[in-house]
Amino acid sequence: MEPIYLDHNATTPIDPGVIDAMAETARRFWANPSSGHPPGLAAREELAKRRSVIARFIGAKPEEIIFTSGGTESDNLAVFGAARANQNKGRHLLISSIEHHAVLESCKVLSGQGFDVSHLPVDRDGRVDPDDVKKELRKDTVLVSVMHANNEVGTVQPIAEIGRLVRERGVLFHTDAAQSVGKLPIHVDELCVDLLTCSSHKIYGPKGVGFLYVRAGTNLSPLSYGGAQEGGFRSGTENLPGIAGLANALETAEKGMQKEGSLLAQLRDALFEALSRSLDGIDLNGHMTSRLPGTLSLSVQGVKSSDLITLLSQKGVFVSASAACTTASIHPSHVLSAMGISPSRAAGTLRISLGRSTRKEDLPYIADVLSSSVKQMRRRPS
């Protein structure tokens, strides 16, 4: 049996078409896009072409796409950039309590530099209530950041609704869409966002590249200084092969998004049903309907997730506990605790994230391995 990869929220395998696009771009457009000679011009044109494809995908203008090294840098640029550029207006930041660490930690640093950070609560399903945003907005609020879809439990936030009321108050609005770009339809005007984070490697593109959408006219300070590439927001020679890979990944995602989404949701729900039939004491985390199609977060009573993951891995099924970046830490996930999930329930949580490689034929095997492993562990508790 081939190993089965069910950790697509941590990263996705690179699409073969993406690898081809990257290789060809690296070979043909090796010059510096800022150079004035013909090879430089060719690279510049190629960069512009790829930027347009990406911009069109989210309903943006090409000059509103700022290429970065990925989701983490985009989040940092959004948070630090908006906070620093607007600190004369105020020093209050409002973020959800289930943000990715790239947002949370950036805000933590800023709170040590005289900024005041408020955390929005979420309900049991991991949703932010737009009314809470309204209540927490202050005269000195300069940025609101609420992620589009959560990487641990998959809950999708009412971004458009939040965006409209944040805009009414004249405050900048950022959403981390690293988990939703390429999976859900995204249009920056419909979502009413000023800043939007995208990471390439969550959508079958290469690692180390992404972008921050920055609405025209947004007051934002750069993080890095130098040659003033990317409209001055992000100096440094552009990673053109990576950008070509990202553009190619988005084109492929666009073509298959709806079909892929409904298939994944179907497989995910079938897997949950199969597990519910064979096991007791399992609870689903996240919103029942407003959720990423491929994400299944389960809390399994009576097992420790790190042990279960090891056992599953020995049997060739690869899943994760909560988020990939926190696997090594012993603290319960901040997402699960914000959702009001007890530490004991959180301790037995598995994140199963399906993707393009997940096949319907494999479901019975996956369900079987999962339930037999849980039963095995429950018989011999560690």
Ligand X SMILES: *Cc1c(COP(=O)(O)O)cnc(C)c1O
Q: Which of 206, 230, 232, 229 is nearest to 71 (CA)?
A: 206
CA separation, residue 136 to residues 166, 197, 282 (Å): 11, 23, 35
203 forms part of the interface with ligand X (CB under 6 A): no
* 70 touching ligand X, by CB under 6 A: yes
Q: Which is nearer to ligand X, 278 or 326 (CB)?
A: 326
Buried b (16+ CB within 10 A) or exposed e, 160-186: ebbbebbeeeebbbbbbbbbbbbbbeb
Q: Which is nearer to ligand X, 201 or 287 (CB)?
A: 201
Q: How far is the CB of 214 from ligand X (least distance, A)?
A: 17
Give the nearest residue (CB) to ligand X: 71
For 308, the enclosing helix (H) or strand (E) is helix 305-314
Exactly one of 81, 130, 154, 210 binds ligand X (CB under 6 A); which one? 210
**Close Cβ partners of 133 (under 8 Å, ≥ 6 residues apart):** 94, 120, 144, 146, 162, 165, 166
- Phi, psi of 4, deg, nearest 5: -115, 120
Closest CB 77 distance from ligand X, rounded Å: 12
Place of tokens 């995602």: 253
DSSP string, 121-164: ---TTSPPPHHHHHHH--TTEEEEE--SB-TTT-BBP-HHHHHH
Decide if 325 is catalytic.
yes
User: In the complex with ligand X, which residue's Cβ is closer, 64 or 176?
Assistant: 176
- State the minimum distance, in angstroms, from the CB of residue 103 to ligand X: 7
Least separation in angstroms between CB 72 and ligand X: 3
Residue count, binding to ligand X (CB under 6 A): 15
Structure tokens at 344: 């004991």
Residues 28-47, mask of contacts with ligand X (x by CB under 6 A): --------------------
DSSP reduced 3-state for 315: coil
> Out of 107, 192, 198, 325, which one is annotated catalytic?
325
The neighbouring-strand residues paired with 119 are 95
User: Taking contact as CB under 6 A, which single stretch among the options 47-55, 68-76, 263-271, 292-300 is the one that binds ligand X?
Assistant: 68-76
| Pick 29 or 211: Cβ nearer ligand X | 211
Burial 362-381 (b: 16+ CB within 10 A, else e): bbeebbebbbebbeebeeee
Q: Which is nearer to ligand X, 336 or 377 (CB)?
A: 336
Which range binds ligand X by CB under 6 A, 55-63, 119-127, 173-181, 239-247? Answer: 173-181
- Tokens (6 digits) for 46: 């190629």
User: According to the binding rule CB under 6 A, does residue 151 interact with ligand X?
Assistant: yes
Alpha carbons 291 and 46: distance in angstroms, whole number: 36
Phi-psi region of 231 (alpha: psi -120 to 50; beta: other; left: phi over 0): left
Stretch that binds ligand X, among 14-22, 47-55, 196-204, 280-288 (CB under 6 A): 196-204
Exactly one of 183, 202, 334, 356 binds ligand X (CB under 6 A); that residue is: 202
Task: Pick between residue 28 and residue 207 the one whose CB is nearest to ligand X.
Answer: 207
Binding-site member from 15, 46, 64, 176 for ligand X (CB under 6 A): 176
Task: List binders of ligand X among 97-126 (CB under 6 A).
Answer: 100, 102
Q: What's the rounded Cα separation, in Å, for the pair 371 and 311? A: 12
Pattern of binders to ligand X over 235-274, x per CB under 6 A?
Answer: ----------------------------------------
Query: Is residue 143 within the footprint of ligand X (CB under 6 A)?
Result: no
Q: Of 29, 43, 60, 71, which one interacts with ligand X (CB under 6 A)?
A: 71
Q: How do 295-300 and 349-353 pair as beta strands?
A: antiparallel
Q: Which residues here bind ligand X, judged by CB under 6 A? A: 70-72, 75, 100, 102, 147, 151, 176, 178-179, 199, 201-202, 210
The residues that are catalytic are 325
